[in-house]
Amino acid sequence: MKTLAHKQDSLLIVYDADTIQHPGTFLFDRGYWVKQGSVTGEAAGRGKALLLDTDFGQAVLRQYLRGGWAAKASRDQYVFSGFGNSRPMMEFAILEQLCEAGLPAPRPIAAMCAREGALYRGWILMRMIPEAQPLADLVGARRDDAELWREVGACIRRFHDHGLVHADLNARNILVGPDNGVHLIDFDRARLRKGDSRAFASNLKRLKRSLHKVWPEPDRQQLPWCWLRLQEGYDQPGAVS
């Protein structure tokens, strides 16, 4: 992956030059992709990220948006403290490191930080993980699949052993492919902190709370069994490959 930067006036774009030859703001423009007929859907979650089918393959475009009380002040603007400190640039850099390490995370394509005085807006464009579904959508049908739950645990362990602390490890930010291939997504505000066992334990607690929320009520008694299988995958020797 060859990462380059394109700076123009008050905006900065970083991009994978092996994928993008002519970077520009159009890459992050919803209207542009609609006109191209490239939009194939929207992903669930804050901001409803666009799913795209482009000349360079399937991709996901996400704008950085606020939630909760902060959205009342501004839905899509953040305080600017330097391009390198902006959320899109930081997430692009994290994703680049994770992919170079061979971890199952989306490959970044481009990110943009557009400064507007003391504030900025941000976007990120990433490779789509094909034929993958959120773990949250599978808990009912796959509650007896011990292999799946061990794979989920082993995947999380790989990221933790690399030092990755996820900012929001929930059942929607874990994707499962048709072959039980597990990926993590959404690395906004993630950080690398080797050996931070307290933060890693907090990640797992956050995931367990998330599973409680999405677990079908009639099958609630199966959740502890599934969590034990996940923990086995996380704890087993050789979880990191």
Phi/psi of residue 193, nearest 5 degrees: -145, 90
- pLDDT in tens for each of the 241 residues of the chain? 899 999 988 999 999 999 999 999 999 999 999 999 999 998 876 557 899 999 999 999 999 997 655 545 667 899 999 999 999 999 999 999 999 999 999 999 999 999 999 999 999 999 999 999 999 999 988 888 999 999 999 999 999 999 999 999 999 999 999 888 999 999 999 999 999 999 999 999 999 999 999 998 888 899 999 999 999 999 986 654 4
Q: Is residue 11 classed as helix, strand or coil in its secondary structure?
A: strand
* pTM score, whole prediction: 0.90
Q: What sign for the dihedral angle of Cα 16, 19, 21, 23? A: negative
What is the pLDDT at residue 213?
94
- How far CA 97 is from CA of 23, 69, 83, 102, 207, in Å, comes to 21, 32, 18, 9, 23
Q: Which of these is catalytic: 18, 168, 179, 235? A: 168
Beta strands in the chain (DSSP E): 3-8, 11-16, 39-42, 50-54, 57-63, 78-79, 108-116, 119-127, 133-134, 164-165, 174-176, 182-184, 191-192
225 sits in the region (left: phi over 0; alpha: psi -120 to 50; else beta) called alpha
What is the pLDDT at residue 69?
56
For the chain, helix, strand, coil in percent to 5 are: 35, 25, 40
Count Cα atoms within 13 angstroms, Cβ side, for 141.
7
Question: Is 168 an annotated catalytic residue?
Answer: yes
- What is the C-alpha separation between 106 and 92, in angstroms, rounded? 10
**16's tokens:** 């994978």
- What is the C-alpha separation between 136 and 72, in angstroms, rounded? 28
What is the pLDDT at residue 207?
98
What is the pLDDT at residue 71?
47
Query: What is the CB neighbour count within 10 angstroms for residue 42?
Result: 12
